[in-house]
Amino acid sequence: MIGFSDETYIDIASGKGGNGCVSFRREKFVPKGGPDGGDGGRGGDVVFIVKKNLRTLSHLKAVRTFRAENGKDGSGNRCFGKDGRDIEIPVPPGTVLKDIKSGKVIKDLSKLERFVFLKGGKGGLGNYHFKSSVRQTPRFAQEGQDGVSLRIGVELLVVADIGFVGFPNAGKSSLLNLLTNAKSKVASYPFTTTIPHLGLLRYKDVDIVLADIPGLIEGASNGSGMGIKFLKHISRTQGLAYFIDCSSDDFISRYDLLRNELKSYSDFYSEELLNKEEIIIGTKLDESEAVNNFNILKNKYHDKICLGISIYDDKSINSVREAFYNMIIKQDNDESSN
Ligand SMILES: Nc1nc2c(ncn2[C@@H]2O[C@H](COP(=O)(O)OP(=O)(O)OP(=O)(O)O)[C@@H](O)[C@H]2O)c(=O)[nH]1
Ligand SMILES: [Mg+2]
């Protein structure tokens, strides 16, 4: 699998407990009212929440400090102070928490939905707790317990969500570079890309990881071109995008040829690869005849999602963003309804 390790650190703090209160009843006709100072509220906890729609840790790099609220102090009339609000830190599935100094894993959040990492401090007791037969007027109360502050490492192995497959020169790397921060080499000769590249597309608050792999040709499964060993890198993705160069002569047969190579890959991976959610991307629509060709392609595969693009047409690129987003959101929804 290709993936990259996304690593960062955050500063977290649970809330301090509120102080207990020192107070005495003061009412008309009750000359020596007893102690009535209430307890402080508890400090908020630091809680990690595992969210399926998150895929990277980029949101933790934008805001690094997460503090839970302190508990409020108690008050007279035995009033309790309010508890401090917990702070919830959203993380993607598969996140692990690490000791920042030793690098040791403290907690693997893989199979959890919610994990209370730091408890808030307890609230202090108010002075009415300290009344006894020998001490009628306790002029003291308990202080709230301190919260805990800590810097912690957070790590995640990011695996691609959508894999790109296509003949060499189809425009896979060009699209990857346009949509993401990746810098995959682009050139007008085949097999420009020789190793897989990953890029991160952030769209409508969802991180989508795209994988560009070397181009496939007919016979790749028998070792032609760069072979098909790279397919294993996209075997765990949620979906595939098939790139068809609509300015090429044999655009019409390429989708089936690509599927054939995937089929011959291996008994184990093929089924996985062929049954993925998919989208066909017709490229280079700015070239002559390409729009015509794309329409022919769309007709042939009318039961599939087909998008025509040109890297010079922003609108078409945006439609790819939308389609990738829908692909990922749909799967997230399917999974959570299962
Ligand atoms: N006219 C036009 N040319 C394009 C478009 N997209 C890509 N190209 C050109 O097509 C050539 C190949 O593009 P790449 O992005 O390197 O193709 P690739 O699919 O990654 O190729 P390999 O890495 O060899 O598999 C380059 O010269 C690009 O500039 C497009 O929308 N229109
Ligand atoms: Mg390439």
pLDDT average, residue stretch 182-205: 85
The tokens describing 42, both together, are: 């508890």
Nearest of 204, 210, 215, 207 to residue 178 by alpha carbon: 210
Greatest mean pLDDT range, 119-123, 185-189, 224-228: 119-123
Type of residue found at 178: L
**Tens digits of per-residue pLDDT, 10-24?**
999 999 999 999 999
Q: How many Cα atoms within 13 Å fall on the side-chain side of residue 152?
A: 22
pLDDT average, residue stretch 214-229: 80
For 70-100, letters b (16+ CB in 10 Å) and e give: bbbbbbbebbbbbbbebbebebbbbbbbbeb
Q: Ligand 1 pocket test: pick from 165, 173, 174 the residue with the most ligand atoms within 8 Å of its Cβ.
A: 174
Confidence bin at 1 (pLDDT 50/70/90): very low
Alpha helices in 69-199 (DSSP H): 172-179
How confident is the model at residue 139, as a pLDDT?
A: 93
Q: Which residues pair with 306 in a beta bridge?
A: 280
Domain boundaries, the chain: 3-157, 160-337
**Residue located nearest, by CA, to atom 6 of ligand 1:** 171
How confident is the model at residue 261, as a pLDDT?
A: 87
How confident is the model at residue 323, as a pLDDT?
A: 96
**Tens digits of per-residue pLDDT, 140-169?**
999 999 999 999 999 987 778 999 999 999
Separation of 189 CA from ligand 2 center, angstroms? 9
Separation of 213 CA from ligand 2 center, angstroms? 7
Percent of the chain having pLDDT more than 70?
95
Type of residue found at 89: I
Q: What is the spatial distance between Cα 160 and Cα 2, in angstroms, rounded to a whole number?
A: 7
pLDDT at 236 over 80: no
Nearest of 203, 146, 234 to residue 325 by alpha carbon: 203
Separation of 172 CA from ligand 2 center, angstroms? 6
> pTM value?
0.72
**Tens digits of per-residue pLDDT, 261-273?**
888 876 666 778 8
CATH architecture of the domain 160-337 equals 3-Layer(aba) Sandwich (3.40)
The tokens describing 241, both together, are: 């995008």
Between residues 196 and 175, the one the model is more confident about: 175
Q: Which residues line ligand 1 (CB under 6 A)?
A: 166, 168-174, 186-188, 190-193, 214-215, 283-284, 286-287, 310-311
How confident is the model at residue 7, as a pLDDT?
A: 87
Q: Ligand 1 pocket test: pick from 169, 242, 283 the residue with the most ligand atoms within 8 Å of its Cβ.
A: 169
Domain 3-157 falls in which CATH fold? Spo0b-associated Gtp-binding Protein; Chain: A, (2.70.210)
Residue listed under structure tokens 């308990």: 142
Confidence bin at 35 (pLDDT 50/70/90): very high
pLDDT, the chain, mean: 90
What is the position in ligand 1's atom list of the atom closest to the CA of 287? 1
pLDDT at 338 over 60: no
**Residue located nearest, by CA, to atom 27 of ligand 1:** 188
What is the position in ligand 1's atom list of the atom closest to the CA of 188? 27
Separation of 226 CA from ligand 2 center, angstroms? 12
Ranges 1-5, 9-13, 70-74, 249-253: which has the least confidence: 1-5
**Residue located nearest, by CA, to atom 12 of ligand 1:** 169
What is the position in ligand 1's atom list of the atom closest to the CA of 176? 15
Type of residue found at 211: A
| Smallest-distance ligand from the CA of 169 | 1
Confidence bin at 2 (pLDDT 50/70/90): low
**Tens digits of per-residue pLDDT, 284-322?**
999 999 999 999 999 999 999 999 999 999 999 999 999
pLDDT average, residue stretch 84-108: 93
